[in-house]
């Protein structure tokens, strides 16, 4: 008497001598399940682009997506997009993308993310390396890619943090930096004496 | 007893499994923005001679205040201030290809209407991807890395728009589901009902798009898991903006052969491409679309804990 063979979940079955595998089951569990995302460049606004990250004042970088149809990028060129960012007064870190941008294979394409963001396989979660990212941020000013924050930028940051009821220890970091900054710049106004 | 007819013994009369006539969709973020008025639609590039649309920005209607003058004094000219924003349209595409044998044995799942719906969903997902990717790009920001989104952050974002003279239309906030949950938790546990959250109704979802969550403090809320991360993945970068911060443009596809092509909703070219020699049939869709950041000060990035 022929015995019925039990099938276990998504295990491949056979029909007409052909193995019928499930594409879902065939997906490697070793990759992240995040969605595909566009490559990007990091930019910084010289005045607004500062924040307290891991207890220190560091450049607050912004991701600008560069994919055909996004931000003026086309399949053939991203130049127009980069020019537009610079015309808006932003510092663009397009010459050191290899330092921060990585791509990982995900279902349906590639997910572009920070080098310090470790994707956890089989999930959409990630594990950030905050120390590594912070250390890299510090090198941007040291290597001349970005200029250090002006006292005006620090003053603006302080006001922003106060409006948002930021933690006292975060506000204290900016207050201390502002106290150390060149107050001469604040003492001398830009206007013409009447 | 012997000779009972058991299921386990009917190997030639029963099947190990049969295919259900219904199927379930695999999990994905299918929220989409629709035509929310906060998105500035720069229109159609079809027949314009370029894939790039330039949107002029002109300092009129109160940009320059009038000045006082003496009774017979000259009226001095005031220069007109202008600038512009551009948005470039590019092809977004999806192709599915099935063999004849796969079609013959299909119980009705993978038919051309399925692929047409699939194309519509895929283009909406692509649109949402492209728009949410812009949220992290605004120069102004609120929030602290590693700290949950709070009502204070939300108010600060709205205040930033007000300070920038950008609060002249209903703002739209696009938040990740984690940020949305943080905001709801804060509202439920700390505000004591002092601030009202207006839950979305079915009609509003229909009008504003799936993913519309409601309105809080006069700001439309949209949630999407397509919102990108920031700060090496420690945070999400959602955003709040008003009309003009995000500009979009599109191209109307040209239907040359109505027997093989159809324009879904007038925007998505969906066509059938048959390869007889290999018995393969492809269903290919194209969507001509572009997004760009318009007026930067009309947007605020909301960067809070992931």
pLDDT bin (cut points 50, 70, 90) of residue A43 is very high
Residue B135 sits in which domain range? 131-245+294-305
Say which residue the tokens 């330039």 belong to: B54
Closest CA to B302 of B191, B136, B161, B121: B136
Distance in angstroms (rounded) separating the CA atoms of residues B163 and B63: 15
What's the ipTM? 0.83
For residues B270 and B256, state if they share a domain.
Answer: yes
- Report CB contact under 8 Å: B130, A65: yes
* Domain assignment of residue B67, yes or no: no
Contact B142 A167 (CB under 8 A): no
Are A159 and A137 within one domain?
A: no
- CA-nearest residue to B7 within chain A is A4
Domain count, chain A: 2
- Asked if A36 contacts A26 with a C-beta cutoff of 8 angstroms, the reply is no
Residue, of B200 and B175, whose pLDDT is higher: B175
The whole-number pLDDT of residue A10 equals 47
Residue B72 has phi, psi (to 5 degrees) of: -120, 20
Tell me the C-alpha distance between B64 and B161, whole Å: 20
Q: Report CA Rg, chain A.
A: 25
pLDDT at B111: 93
Q: How many residues does chain A have?
A: 194
Q: Crossing angle of helices B151-163/A151-163, nearest 10°?
A: 130
Residue A44 DSSP symbol = E
**pLDDT, position B6:** 93
Q: Which of A104-108, B58-62, B135-139, B207-211 has the lowest mean pLDDT?
A: B207-211
A63 lies in the same domain as A143? yes
Same domain? For B263 and B282 the reply is yes
Task: Say if residue B174 is in the same domain as residue B102.
Answer: no
Q: Model confidence at B72, in pLDDT bands (50, 70, 90)? A: very high
B3: region left, alpha or beta (phi > 0 left; psi from -120 to 50 alpha): left
B160 lies in the same domain as B204: yes
Is B255 a residue whose pLDDT tops 60? yes
Does the pLDDT of residue B157 top 90, yes or no? Answer: yes
Structural domain span for residue A112? 40-149
pLDDT score of A30: 82
Backbone angles phi, psi at B217, to 5 degrees: 55, 40
**B12, B17, B52: residue with CB nearest A7:** B17
Average pLDDT, rounded, for chain B = 92
Name residues 10-49 of chain B within 8 A of A (Cβ): 10-12, 14, 16-17, 26, 28-29
Residues A111 and A49 grouped into a single domain: yes
Q: Is A178 in the same domain as A89?
A: no
> Is the confidence at residue B121, as pLDDT, over 80?
yes
The residues near A192 (Cβ < 8 Å, ≥ 6 apart) are none
Distance of CA B116 to the CA centre of its chain: 19
Does residue B176 sit in the same domain as residue B300? yes
Domain assignment present for residue B26? The answer is no
Reported in sequence order, the residue ranges of A34-187 that DSSP labels E, i.e. its strands, are 40-44, 50-53, 56-59, 62-65, 91-92, 101-106, 109-114, 117-119, 126-128
Asked if residues B225 and B177 have their Cβ atoms less than 8 Å apart, the reply is: yes
Q: Are residues A91 and A105 in the same domain?
A: yes
- Banded model confidence at residue A182, pLDDT cuts 50, 70, 90: low
Count of structural domains within chain B: 2
Distance separating alpha carbons of residues B189 and A29, to the nearest angstrom = 38
pLDDT averaged over chain A? 85
Q: Are B43 and B91 members of one domain?
A: yes
Q: Which of A146-150, A162-166, B99-103 has the lowest mean pLDDT?
A: A162-166
Same domain, B179 and B300: yes
Separation CA B259–CA B271 (nearest Å):
9
Question: Would you state the pLDDT for residue A21?
Answer: 67
Q: Strand, coil or helix: what is B60? A: coil
User: Residue A17 has what pLDDT?
Assistant: 57
Q: β-strands B219-223, B172-175: how paired?
A: parallel
Give the mean model confidence (pLDDT) for residues B107-111.
Answer: 92
Task: Report the residue of chain B nearest A14, measured CA to CA.
Answer: B16
Q: What are phi and psi of A184, to 5 degrees?
A: -60, -40
Shared domain for B178 and B299, answered yes or no, is yes
- Interchain CB distance below 8 Å, B133 and A67: yes
Residue B26 above 90 pLDDT?
Answer: no
CA of B272 to nearest chain A CA: how many angstroms apart?
22
Q: Are residues B143 and B238 in the same domain?
A: yes
Provide the CA A167 distance to its chain's centre, in angstroms. Answer: 23
Q: Report the CATH number that the domain containing residue B171 is assigned in CATH.
A: 3.30.2320
Residue A84: its chain B contacts at CB < 8 A? 86
Q: Are residues B114 and B140 in the same domain?
A: no
Task: Kindly state whether residues A140 and A46 are assigned to the same domain.
Answer: yes
Mean pLDDT of B53-67: 95
Same domain, A70 and A95: yes
Flag whether B12 is in a domain.
no
pLDDT of A9 reads: 46
- Residue A34 resides in a domain: no
Q: What is the pLDDT of residue B32?
A: 81
Q: Please identify which residue in the block is written with the tokens 């159609």.
A: B44
B91 lies in the same domain as B209: no
B171, B39 contact by CB (below 8 A):
no
Residues B286 and B299 in one domain: no
Contact A72 B237 (CB under 8 A): no
Q: How close B119 gets to chain A, by Cα (Å)?
A: 15
Find, among B143, B141, B134, B235, the residue nearest to B186 by Cα. Answer: B143
CA distance B227 to B132: 5
Burial class (CB in 10 A: 0-12, 13-18, 19+), B62: exposed
Of A109, A107, A111, A108, nearest to A126 by C-alpha is: A111
pLDDT at res. B169: 95
Strands B235-241 and B229-230 turn out to be antiparallel
Nearest by CB to B289, from A69, A118, A129: name it. Answer: A69
Average pLDDT rounded to a whole number, residues B214-230: 93
Quote the minimal CA–CA distance from A150 to chain B in Å: 16
pLDDT tens, residue by residue, A117-160? 999 999 999 999 999 999 999 999 999 999 999 999 999 999 99
End-to-end CA distance of chain A: 109
Is any Cβ of chain A less than 8 angstroms from the Cβ of B198? no
Looking at the fold, whether A49 and A111 belong to one and the same domain comes out as yes
């Amino acid at each position: 008497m022929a015995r019925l063979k039990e099938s276990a979940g998504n295990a491949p079955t056979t029909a007409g001598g052909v193995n019928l595998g499930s594409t879902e089951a065939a997906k490697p569990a070793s990759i992240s399940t995040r969605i595909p995302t566009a490559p990007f460049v990091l930019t910084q606004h010289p005045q607004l682009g500062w924040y307290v990250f891991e207890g220190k004042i560091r450049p607050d970088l912004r991701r600008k997506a560069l994919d055909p149809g996004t931000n003026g990028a086309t399949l053939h060129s991203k130049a127009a997009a980069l020019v537009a960012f610079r015309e808006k007064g932003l510092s663009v870190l397009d010459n050191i993308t290899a330092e921060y941008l990585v791509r990982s294979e995900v279902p349906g394409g590639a997910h572009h993310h920070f080098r310090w963001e470790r994707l956890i396989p089989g999930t959409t979660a990630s594990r950030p390396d905050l120390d590594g990212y912070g250390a890299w941020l510090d090198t941007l000013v040291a290597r001349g890619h970005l200029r250090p924050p002006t006292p005006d930028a620090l003053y603006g940051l302080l006001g922003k943090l106060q409006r948002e009821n930021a933690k006292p220890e975060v506000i204290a970091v900016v207050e201390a930096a502002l106290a150390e900054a060149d107050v001469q710049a604040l003492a001398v106004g830009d206007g013409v004496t009447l | 007893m012997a000779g009972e007819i058991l299921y386990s013994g009917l190997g030639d009369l029963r099947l190990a499994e049969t295919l259900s006539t219904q199927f379930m969709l695999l999990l994905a973020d299918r929220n989409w923005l629709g035509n929310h008025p906060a998105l500035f639609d720069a229109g159609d590039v079809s027949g314009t001679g370029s894939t790039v649309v330039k949107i002029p920005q002109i300092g009129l209607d109160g940009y320059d205040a009038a000045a006082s003058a003496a009774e017979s004094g000259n009226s001095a000219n005031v220069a007109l201030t202008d600038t512009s924003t551009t948005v470039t349209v590019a092809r977004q595409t999806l192709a599915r290809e099935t063999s004849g044998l796969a079609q013959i044995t299909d119980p009705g799942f993978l038919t051309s209407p399925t692929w047409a719906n699939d194309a519509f969903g895929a283009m909406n997902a692509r649109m949402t991807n492209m728009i949410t990717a812009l949220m992290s790009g605004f120069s102004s920001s609120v929030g602290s890395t590693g700290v949950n989104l709070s009502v204070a952050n939300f108010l600060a974002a709205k205040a930033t728009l007000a300070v920038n003279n950008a609060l002249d239309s209903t703002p739209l906030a696009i938040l990740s589901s984690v940020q949305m949950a943080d905001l709801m938790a804060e509202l439920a546990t700390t505000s004591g009902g002092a601030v009202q959250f207006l839950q979305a109704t079915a009609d509003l979802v229909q009008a504003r798009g799936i993913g519309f969550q409601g309105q809080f403090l006069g700001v439309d809320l949209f949630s999407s898991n397509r919102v990108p991360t920031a700060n090496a993945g420690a945070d999400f970068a959602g955003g709040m903006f008003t009309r003009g911060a995000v500009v979009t443009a599109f191209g109307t596809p040209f239907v040359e052969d109505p027997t093989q092509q159809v324009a879904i909703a007038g925007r998505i070219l969906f066509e059938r491409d048959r390869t007889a020699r290999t018995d393969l049939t492809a269903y290919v869709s194209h969507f001509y679309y572009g997004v760009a950041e318009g007026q930067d000060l009309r947007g605020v990035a909301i960067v809070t804990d992931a």
